[in-house]
């Protein structure tokens, strides 16, 4: 990719001429933008990945930050799972088809995407359940006399609800936190969203993790809107705990199981508040006393949800040979281009312009945003709406192209007009 156009994305600069798709002429008017989109699509080293997904020719799908598109080979794999592994082998598949080890095996496939080592990621349960496990465990491994849990003040609501329950369980106070604010000596753990779900703002994971550690606090990162969209570097930056869903940029399917990361140095002291039989050192011993397993299996709880888990495992095949750095490079150029296309529309970008502060979505504020999004969807541009006035467009680099971005901007202009 080093010789491709998208290798070195640059920060957006002030243009010298018209840039929006509503401009009638000029090098960056519609004709110029169309030429630029064609050039970027032709130079896209990830363009072939689009053929791996089931997508409608007449639809621009920009909601992969809510539900990723279906990898086209997954239905055949699931037919095999249902007819042979479940239908013919039945209970034998726990061993013969590898069902029992799926949570760790699939975790090891996700680990390189989020910058983690083998044996540190386990798949299972929902994001909410994993946030609860991670946050309570973070407090339990923190300095005993610390009485605060900080939670991202703009967090996804469920994270806040879970954090409040975790605080009650551990007799701590829940304190709203704006990423970047000082962390004091009373803080036991900090729960932060890597990318804000509403605005698309990317928070400084290395810097905030280092600040928390300098204050003696544990970190729990929610990666739902960054896993599969950009490099995370969990191991490199010493993150303590992390959780994330797999149905967005990882394309695992609706309700696919989430993942839990525990830093190797904390695995032996990881004290899960949900010690189910699947995390027992001898799960089939059926002993009344609980003795936790070692490594990633300690994060398991109950019987794995095999059908959705194996759909996720199959979906991860689209990542074979794909570099997350290349995904990030395309994401930045793609979102830059979309912002250029909508520059002259009556919308206000909510997503930060600097690359260091941007995930892989663009959020725009406009009047009557809910009605505008309904109109866009009716015309084949699928994004989503967040109250009260935000349009969200998720750019999944594996299957969204520059022509898609231009078409979405053009139809948005018509809907607003």
DSSP output for 91-147: GGHHHHT--TTHHHHHHHHHGGGGT--TTSEEE-S-HHHHHHHHHHHHHHTS-TT--
C-alpha distances in Å from residue 289, one per residue of 300, 303, 304? 17, 19, 22
* 361, 397 Cβ separation under 8 angstroms: no
Measure the CA–CA gap between 378 and 371, rounded to whole angstroms: 11
195 three-state secondary structure: strand
Note the pTM of the prediction, 2 decimals. 0.92
Instruction: Characterise 71 by phi-psi region: left (phi > 0), alpha (psi -120 to 50), beta (else).
Output: beta
| Among 53, 61, 177, 247, the one annotated catalytic | 247
Measure the CA–CA gap between 397 and 331, rounded to whole angstroms: 6
Establish whether 201 is a catalytic residue: no
Establish whether 125 is a catalytic residue: no
Task: Specify the fold of 5-72+322-416.
Answer: 3.90.1150
pLDDT given for residue 143 in this prediction: 85
Q: Which CATH class is domain 101-303?
A: alpha beta
**Tens of each residue's pLDDT in the chain, 417 residues:** 333 334 444 444 433 333 334 443 444 566 799 999 999 999 999 999 999 999 999 999 999 999 999 999 999 999 999 999 999 999 999 999 999 999 999 999 999 999 999 999 999 999 999 999 999 999 999 988 899 999 999 999 999 999 999 999 999 999 999 999 999 999 999 999 999 999 999 999 999 999 999 999 999 999 999 999 999 999 999 999 999 999 999 999 999 999 999 999 999 999 999 999 999 999 999 999 999 999 989 999 999 999 999 999 999 999 999 999 999 999 999 999 999 999 999 999 999 999 999 999 999 999 999 999 999 999 999 999 999 999 999 999 999 999 999 999 999 999 998
Instruction: Characterise 200 by phi-psi region: left (phi > 0), alpha (psi -120 to 50), beta (else).
Output: left
**How is the chain split into domains, by residue range?**
5-72+322-416, 101-303
| Among 196, 222, 326, 336, the one annotated catalytic | 222
* 272, 154 Cβ separation under 8 angstroms: no
| Among 248, 298, 328, 358, the one annotated catalytic | 248
5-72+322-416 and 101-303: same fold? no
Measure the CA–CA gap between 371 and 203, rounded to whole angstroms: 30
Establish whether 247 is a catalytic residue: yes
Cα atoms found within 13 Å of the Cα of residue 330, Cβ hemisphere only: 28
Burial class of 393 by CB neighbour count within 10 A (0 to 12, 13 to 18, 19+): buried
Comparing CA positions, the residue from 396, 389, 320, 409 lying closest to residue 55 is 396
| Among 392, 399, 402, 410, the one annotated catalytic | 392
pLDDT given for residue 3 in this prediction: 36
Strand partners, 122: 260
Measure the CA–CA gap between 34 and 115, rounded to whole angstroms: 36
Measure the CA–CA gap between 149 and 135, rounded to whole angstroms: 9
pLDDT digits (tens, 9 = 90+) for 349-374: 999 999 999 999 999 999 999 999 99
Measure the CA–CA gap between 410 and 412, rounded to whole angstroms: 5
């Amino acid at each position: 990719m080093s010789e491709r156009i998208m290798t070195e994305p640059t920060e957006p600069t002030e243009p010298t001429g018209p840039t929006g798709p509503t401009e009638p002429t000029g090098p960056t008017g519609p004709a110029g933008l169309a030429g630029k989109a064609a050039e970027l699509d032709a130079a896209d080293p990830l363009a072939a990945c689009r053929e791996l997904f089931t997508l409608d020719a007449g639809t621009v799908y920009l909601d992969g930050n809510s539900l990723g598109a279906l990898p086209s080979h997954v239905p055949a794999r699931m037919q095999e799972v249902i007819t042979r592994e479940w239908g013919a082998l039945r209970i034998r598949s726990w061993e013969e088809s590898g069902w029992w080890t799926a949570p760790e095996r699939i975790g090891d496939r996700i680990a390189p995407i989020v910058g983690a080592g083998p044996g540190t990621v386990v798949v299972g349960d929902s994001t909410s359940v994993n946030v609860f496990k991670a946050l309570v465990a973070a407090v339990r491994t923190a300095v005993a006399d610390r009485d605060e849990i900080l939670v991202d003040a703009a967090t996804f609501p469920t994270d806040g609800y879970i954090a409040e329950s975790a605080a009650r369980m551990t007799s701590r106070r829940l304190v709203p936190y704006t990423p970047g604010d000082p962390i004091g000596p009373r803080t036991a753990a900090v729960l932060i969203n890597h990318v804000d779900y509403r605005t698309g703002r990317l928070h400084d994971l290395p810097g905030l993790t280092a600040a928390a550690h300098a204050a003696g606090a544990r970190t729990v990162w929610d990666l739902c809107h960054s896993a599969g969209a950009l490099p995370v570097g969990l191991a490199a930056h010493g993150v303590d705990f992390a959780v994330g869903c797999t149905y967005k940029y990882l394309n695992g399917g609706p309700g696919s199981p989430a993942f839990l990361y525990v830093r190797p140095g904390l695995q032996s002291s990881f004290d899960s508040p949900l010690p189910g039989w699947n995390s027992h050192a001898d799960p089939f011993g059926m002993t009344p006393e609980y003795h936790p397993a070692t490594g990633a299996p300690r994060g398991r709880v109950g019987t794995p949800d095999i059908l959705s888990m194996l759909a996720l495992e199959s979906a991860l095949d689209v990542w074979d040979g794909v570099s997350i750095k290349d995904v990030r490079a395309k994401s930045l150029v793609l979102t830059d281009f979309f912002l250029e296309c909508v520059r002259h529309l009556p919308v206000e970008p909510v997503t930060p312009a600097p690359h260091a502060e941007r995930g892989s979505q663009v959020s725009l504020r406009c009047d009557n945003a809910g009605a505008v999004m309904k109109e866009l969807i009716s015309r084949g541009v699928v994004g989503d709406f967040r109250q009260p006035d935000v349009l969200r467009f998720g750019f999944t680099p594996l299957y969204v192209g520059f022509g898609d971005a231009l078409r979405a901007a053009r139809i948005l202009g018509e809907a607003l007009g």
